[in-house]
Amino acid sequence: MGQVIKSFLGIFFAFLVVITGVSVVTMQMQVSEARSYKDTVVASIENSDYNADVINACFTGAEDNNYRMEIILYDSSGGSVTLDSAAAAPGHAADAVKARVFLKYDVDFFGKKFEKSVQGTAK
């Protein structure tokens, strides 16, 4: 009887370790995908010279991936404009010289959602 209990506990703890490992790997994959998308957005904004259509496409891609994105555009006079949707981009991107990208996303860990964020700068 004692050996049955020990065997059951061994299987239970092995199962718990596997579930924890899978959760950690899944969470890290979500973080990695969000960081990769942020890097793509920063590179796209830099390479397009702050083109409004590219910024709109970045917002659309963020929405498709269930990310919440905010872009702060800075102009040469030191002023700034915060964009949180694609509709706001056209009038403000023309004279931008720098941008900060904030990307918020949710990660699941054991079925509980946590909000995380990454940021980058386009110069």
Residues in contact with 90: Cβ distance below 8 Å, sequence separation at least 6, in sequence order: 52, 56
Give the model confidence (pLDDT) of 24-49 as tens digits.
898 899 899 999 999 999 999 889 88
**The two structure tokens encoding residue 38:** 């942020």
Cβ 28 vs Cβ 104: under 8 Å: no
Count CB-CB contacts under 10 A for residue 103.
24
Q: What mean pLDDT is predicted for residues 44-65?
A: 88
Give the model confidence (pLDDT) of 76-109 as tens digits.
887 888 888 766 666 656 677 788 888 888 887 7
